[in-house]
Amino acid sequence: MSENKIPYKIYLEESEMPKEWYNVRADMKNKPAPLLNPGTLQPMSEEELGTVFCKELVKQELDNDNPFIEIPQKILDFYKMYRPAPLVRAYCLEEKLKTPAKIYYKFEGNNTSGSHKLNSAIAQAYYAKEQGLKGVTTETGAGQWGTALSMACSYLELDCKVYMVKCSYEQKPFRREVMRTYGASVTPSPSEETEVGRKILAEHPGTTGSLGCAISEAVEVATHTEGYRYVLGSVLNQVLLHQSVIGMEAKIAMDKYGIKPDIIIGCAGGGSNLGGLISPFMGEKLRGEADYRFIAVEPASCPSLTRGVFAYDFCDTGMVCPLAKMYTLGSGFIPSANHAGGLRYHGMSSTLSQLYHDGYMEARSVEQTAVFEAAEQFARVEGILPAPESSHAIKAAIDEALKCKETGEEKTILFGLTGTGYFDMMAYEKFHDGAMTDYIPTDDDLKAGFDGIPRFPGNLE
């Protein structure tokens, strides 16, 4: 098909939508390291994980072998309400940049949660319901995950308890109300409701909370309440599996038009959208069938891949969760207070960490003022107001397209546009007022986080 036939937006027919998730671990020679029990330092068994997570999700978490996992019909039906997500050819951005590069983005912001997170929320809620549970608990930072989960739970009539990082709870009252509209209960974290919350409050009075702390609270409530389990919106293998629907759709759409991306770019917080977007392409690379460049983009103020260490660490501040082997800044790391661009988790998905460690993926960090410049540039030509998180990928895509302008190369770039930024207008306001600053942590700042990583034989020793 000739170049000028490629439409601005490529949508799949319902019948072309993927019916299976792709599990990239099946094609990895070095599997991601297992979660460890922090007490015994032994791999978490199916049984142990089952006290925290839903049964079927534990199976998916531990499954390093099956490449394809069937998507249950009920989830497929739910996906059809807001999927397929469009694959957009960014003709307007290309023209503005005067680049010979061809830029595509996969837009995941077409649902009320405003992000890709709904793809995993509906799957996790579905398996909880199938198991006969009463409800689920979770944490949320900026609020997209909590919103996505409350939407999925209300659809399936499950109770949903969200622990929301206190500063977001106060700064984003509208997010909170969206969650309550969908029937979720929303508690600012740290709270007095949990033992770990009370402990953190006693140690750090006046703290405005962190994701790691909210996770500890949500896990405590799930494990102490009959009929409840904990669900997590990123980082875990199961979440990357569900998010593979992004990459599968993108690949089917690109194959349909004979498009092969040279570079695939995604922002990286816990790694779920990036992992999902690249999965089927990474599978080809791992099997030696095709080659792609993959670029993870993270904030310079929370640089887990580019400046973190590859080690077993706690997933949460309260140290109640299993240990995960990942690139980490230490579970005590909290990005500087001026950081407004999201992607503030201290660690990174074990699967992506392993792939990065083995040289299959690149990573770079970008400063937030440059991210918001890219966000604004994109909004003005492509019409979509991007989430700050997504704008990390936009920034890297623009940089790559500008490199093509210098060299004259007509590379094809695909990036993940994970969501919209309507609830991030305080951050945009700071940027517009010239009040946004960049803070790059010093080695000394990072050292404090690294010092909190558990030491045991084979881990940082």
Ligand X SMILES: *Cc1c(COP(=O)(O)O)cnc(C)c1O
Residues that bind ligand X (CB under 6 A): 115, 117, 144, 234, 267-274, 343, 387, 389-390, 418-419
Point out which residues pair with 414 in neighbouring strands: 104, 264
Point out which residues pair with 69 in neighbouring strands: 21
Q: How far is the CB of 242 from ligand X (least distance, A)?
A: 11
Give whichever of 128 and 211 is closer to ligand X, judged by the CB atom.
Answer: 211
Contacts of 34 (CB under 8 A, 6+ apart): 43, 44, 62
Measured between alpha carbons, how far is 203 from 453 in angstroms, rounded to an integer?
19
Comparing every residue's Cβ against ligand X, the nearest one is 419
Give whichever of 317 and 420 is closer to ligand X, judged by the CB atom.
Answer: 420
Q: Which residue has the tokens 């499954």?
A: 63
Q: How far is the CB of 346 from ligand X (least distance, A)?
A: 13
Contacts 24+ apart (CB under 8 A), 12-18: 12/84, 12/249, 12/252, 12/253, 12/256, 14/80, 14/84, 16/84, 16/252, 16/256, 17/76, 17/79, 17/80, 17/83, 17/84, 17/249, 17/252, 18/71, 18/245, 18/248, 18/249, 18/252
Q: How far is the CB of 206 from ligand X (least distance, A)?
A: 26
Closest CA to 83 of 71, 67, 92, 93: 71
274, 355 Cβ separation under 8 angstroms: no
188, 166 Cβ separation under 8 angstroms: yes
Give whichever of 135 and 342 is closer to ligand X, judged by the CB atom.
Answer: 342
Closest CA to 118 of 21, 243, 280: 243
Contacts of 204 (CB under 8 A, 6+ apart): none
Question: Measured between alpha carbons, how far is residue 130 from residues 135, 157, 454 in Å?
Answer: 11, 12, 37
Give whichever of 206 and 383 is closer to ligand X, judged by the CB atom.
Answer: 383
Give whichever of 117 and 411 is closer to ligand X, judged by the CB atom.
Answer: 117
Give whichever of 331 and 418 is closer to ligand X, judged by the CB atom.
Answer: 418
Give whichever of 144 and 331 is closer to ligand X, judged by the CB atom.
Answer: 144
Closest CA to 83 of 123, 111, 105, 104: 111
Give whichever of 57 and 343 is closer to ligand X, judged by the CB atom.
Answer: 343
Measured between alpha carbons, how far is 227 from 231 in angstroms, rounded to an integer?
13
Q: Which residue has the tokens 């909004």?
A: 379
Helix (H, G, I), strand (E, B) or coil at 431: helix
Give whichever of 102 and 116 is closer to ligand X, judged by the CB atom.
Answer: 116
Helix (H) or strand (E) holding 394: helix 388-407
163, 139 Cβ separation under 8 angstroms: yes
Q: How far is the CB of 451 from ligand X (least distance, A)?
A: 25
Give whichever of 123 and 133 is closer to ligand X, judged by the CB atom.
Answer: 123
Q: Are strands 293-299 and 102-107 parallel, antiparallel or unpaired?
A: unpaired
Backbone φ, ψ for residue 341 (5° rounding): -95, 15
Measured between alpha carbons, how far is 419 from 390 in angstroms, rounded to an integer?
6
Q: How far is the CB of 409 from ligand X (least distance, A)?
A: 28
Give whichever of 216 and 272 is closer to ligand X, judged by the CB atom.
Answer: 272
